[in-house]
Amino acid sequence: MEGVWQELLDSAQIEICVADWWGARENCGCIYRLRVRLLDMYENEVVKFSASPNPVLQWTERSCRQVSHVFTNFGKGIRYVSFEQYGRDMRSWVGHYGALVTHSSVRIRIRPS
C-alpha cells in the first residue's frame, strides 16, 4: 500500500478499515455490491470481504446506506488493497442511473499496544 511502510503492515498492530456509502435515485431502484480483498506482494488474495445488501426499490426513500468492514489479525505480507464496487439500476435504463456511490474509504488504524 502506498504510503504505509512494510514493518507497520506486518506488525499485527493495525486494522484496515473500509467503508462505502451508497444509495439510489428516487425514481429508479438499484443493486449494489462491494468486494474488498487484501493482497500479498504477488497480488494473491489473502483475505476478502464482500457485501451484497438488499436492493433499493423504485419510489422508496432516497437515503444513503453505509457498508463497512474492519480487517483484523490478517497476518504478515499484505501489500495491496483491492476495492471493487458494482452498481446498476433495476430498470436497465441507458445512461448513468445505477447506484450512487460516495465517500469510499480505506483507512489504516493503529491499535494501542
Residue 113 lies in a domain: no
For residue 74, what pLDDT is reported? 92
Q: What is the tally of structural domains in the chain?
A: 1
For residue 88, what pLDDT is reported? 84
Residue 93 lies in a domain: yes
Residue 1 lies in a domain: no
d(CA 23, CA 89): 11
d(CA 110, CA 70): 12
Cβ neighbour number for residue 8 with a 10 Å cutoff: 12
* pLDDT tens digit at each of 113 positions of the chain: 567 888 888 887 899 999 999 988 878 888 899 999 999 999 999 999 999 888 887 777 677 889 999 999 999 999 999 999 998 887 777 776 778 889 999 999 988 76
Residue 67 lies in a domain: yes
Residue 103 lies in a domain: yes
* Predicted TM-score of the model (pTM): 0.87
Alpha helix positions (H), the chain:
6-9
Q: Where are the beta strands (DSSP E) in 14-62?
A: 14-23, 30-39, 45-51
Residue 94 lies in a domain: yes
For residue 48, what pLDDT is reported? 98
* Contact (Cβ atoms closer than 8 angstroms) between residue 21 and residue 101: yes
Residue 65 lies in a domain: yes
Q: What is the CATH number of the domain that holds 103?
A: 2.60.120.260
For residue 94, what pLDDT is reported? 72
Domain that holds residue 86: 6-107
Residue/partner pairs of 41-48 with CB below 8 Å, 24 or more apart: 41/77, 41/79, 43/80, 46/74, 46/75, 46/77, 46/78, 47/71, 47/74
Residue 79 lies in a domain: yes
